[in-house]
Structure formats: C-alpha cells, structure tokens
Amino acid sequence: MYTCQVCNYSTKNASSYKRHLDSLKHKKKLESLCTPIANTDSSKSNSQVKTVNIDIESKAIAVLEEKIKILIQHNKTIENNYNQMRQEQLSMKKRMEKIGKYLSLVCKASNEINQL
C-alpha cells in the first residue's frame, strides 16, 4: 500500500502512486506546504491557514511516529541479537577454560610419565 500523507491519497499500485507524485495536484499541495504564508490571500482568514498547517503538521508527526516505531522495533531486534551473542560468547569462554584445564592435566600427566 502506497500512501501520500500530504494529499491523503493511497493506492495499491506503485505506478499510479508514482503518477500521483508527478501530478499537478500533488505538487501544488506540496508547494503550499513549503510556502504557507506566501499563499495567504485576503479571502482566506488567518485561522483557516493555521488549521491547514496544524493538519499537515499532525500528518507529518504521524509519519515520524510510524518511523520511530519501526526504529524501536529494529533496536529491539539488534538488542536481542546482541544478548544472544553475549550468551554464546560466555559459554564459549567457559568451554575454553575447561579445555585449558584438561590440557594442563594432560601436560602434568605426560611429565610424570617421562620422569618414571
């Protein structure tokens, strides 16, 4: 699903979404986003312009919130992977210590055999 938050337009089709982004309607809306004060004409009251801006701002915030949610999810996945890796590292370390102990026992035994 492709959604244009600026125009409140959504489509399942990638090519029609692309066409929408190229459309005059979308470009004009985007332009009005960039220069909200310049587009103010005497027929519009100030409060109307403000309402439009707040509406667009809340849409932008909604988009950001969605992105933050995705980032938090990613972060959790990374954290889980990290914890798993740490666990594996710890068990590896323990195994290496055990192998070290066995090796020193073997060395000791072979030294004792040589002295016989």
Where does this chain bind Zn ion (CB under 5 A)? 4, 6-7, 26
Q: Shortest approach of Zn ion to residue 22 CB, angstroms?
A: 10
| Of 19 and 50, CB closest to Zn ion | 19
Q: Shortest approach of Zn ion to residue 93 CB, angstroms?
A: 56
| Of 24 and 116, CB closest to Zn ion | 24
Q: Give the end-to-end CA distance of the chain in Å, rounded to a whole number.
A: 81
Q: Shortest approach of Zn ion to residue 41 CB, angstroms?
A: 22
In the numeric block, which tokens belong to residue 99?
A: 């192998």
Q: Shortest approach of Zn ion to residue 59 CB, angstroms?
A: 11
The span from the CA of 1 to the CA of 67, in Å, is 16
| Of 4 and 33, CB closest to Zn ion | 4
| Of 19 and 86, CB closest to Zn ion | 19
Q: DSSP assignment of 22-86, as one string?
A: HSHHHHHHHHHHH-TTTT--TTS-HHHHHHHHHHHHHHHHHHHHHHHHHHHHHHHHHHHHHHHHH
